[in-house]
Amino acid sequence: MSALLEIDNLSLRFGGVRAVQGLSFTVNEREILGLIGPNGAGKSTVFNLIDGIYPPDEGRVIFAGRDITGEKPYRVVRHGIARTHQIVQPLVGMSVLENCMVGACFGFQNQSLRRGRETAREVLSLVGLADRADSPASQLTIAGKKRLELARALCASPMLLLLDEVLAGLNPSEVERMIEMIRGIRERGVAILMIEHLMQAIMSLSDRIVVLNTGQKLAEGLPAEVAHNKSVIEAYLGDPNMVAKLGADRNGADQPGAAP
């Protein structure tokens, strides 16, 4: 598998705080890479750096062989990256369908209004929102808004999807559903970089994991390796169930309390 996204020695400072420091990792084609770490580790900042919302102080972001460091968000999308936000940002005055059309018409595929509408309808039925297509986006539940956020990103038909805590705030059955959708997206050939706090989910979904702490890479490797990594466990210290969570079987079997 060739590298689709390369993060090379990325650093960013906010005032006196080093949000991200000397970070490097790659995301390969058709891979699901999980990005985990305690709160404030800098995970969302990494997304903002890739997306061009903040230009980095140092380092490069290379996508599909092209250096896209610091490019504006609307250009980054044109290269084939789409993202969802941790705090959902639906375009509230518009309908669900119109929200998705924005993604289709201005995203990677840059479609016409008519093609965009078709794409939007397809994606909406994929995520199960087809019946709400004409409702105002403001009327959706949190789960619905999360699905809309995902659908909107998918409408761009990206090569790489950045998911920022898509599972947060969902009940167990909604989580299941979302996990299935994410697997389905990967089947379709889209690479995924996902931030998540739900340990079982991300451990079972990811091909590889990168662990971040205070803006630096703490560990990288297969989920099972990372779960046994001492410094990772230490970083998460304070959560007595963390060891068990990190030790969950790669196939997603729930084993709370099982020894690693």
Partner 1 sequence: MFGILASIVDGLLIGSVYGMAAMGLTLIWGVMNVVNLTHGAMIVAGMFALFLISGQLGISPYTAVPPVAVAGFGAGVLIYWLSVHRMIGRPPLMSLLSTFSVNMVLIGLGTALWGTALFNIEVSLPGISFGDYTFPGTHLMAAALTGLIAVLLFLFLQKTRSGKAIRAVAGNREAAELVGIPTTRVLALAFGLGVALACVSGALIATMFPFTVLSGNAYQLKSFVVTILGGLGNPAGAFLGGIALGLIEGLATPFMPVSWTSIIEFVVFVLVLIAFPRGLFNFTFRRS
Partner 2 sequence: MAPLNFIRQPFFWVIVAVTAAFVALPLWHYDVGWRESLVLAAVYIILASNLNLMIGYAGYVNFGSIVFFGLGGYVGVFLITDYGWPPALAALAAGAVVSVLALVLGLGILRLHGFYFALATIGVNQAVQAFVSNFKPWGGASGIYISISAYQALGGPRQALWTIYFLLVGVMALSLLLSYGIKSSKFGLGLLAIGQNESAASVLGVPTPLYKALAYSVSAFLPAVAGCLYFFKSAFVQPVDAFDLGFSTEAVVMVMLGGQGTVAGPAIGAFLYEELRGWLLTSATFSNFQLVIAGVILLIIVTFAPGGLMGLLRRLWPKTRKILE
Residues that bind partner 2 (CB under 8 A): 51, 53, 72-74, 77-78, 83, 85, 89, 91-94, 98, 101-103, 105-108, 110, 112-113, 116, 152, 156
For partner 1, the binding residue among 45, 109, 200, 206 (CB under 8 A) is 45
Partner whose binding site includes residue 130, from partner 1, partner 2, none (CB under 5 to 8 Å by kind): none
Residue whose CB is less far from partner 1, 6 or 57: 57
Residue whose CB is less far from partner 2, 75 or 183: 75
Q: Provide the minimum distance between the beta carbon of 48 and partner 2 in the complex, in angstroms, as a whole number.
A: 10
Q: Provide the minimum distance between the beta carbon of 78 and partner 2 in the complex, in angstroms, as a whole number.
A: 6
* Cα distance between residue 184 and residue 9, in whole Å: 32
* Whole-Å CA distances, 72 to 44, 62, 162, 241: 17, 14, 16, 41
* Cα distance between residue 191 and residue 46, in whole Å: 17
Look at strands 216-221 and 58-63 and give their pairing. Answer: unpaired
Which pair of tokens denotes residue 147? 């699905």
* Cα distance between residue 232 and residue 74, in whole Å: 35
Q: Provide the minimum distance between the beta carbon of 83 and partner 2 in the complex, in angstroms, as a whole number.
A: 6
* Whole-Å CA distances, 38 to 10, 86, 238: 19, 15, 11
Region of 14-22, 80-88, 114-122, 174-182 interacting with partner 1 (CB under 8 A): 14-22
Which positions lie near partner 1, rule CB under 8 A? 14-15, 19, 45, 54
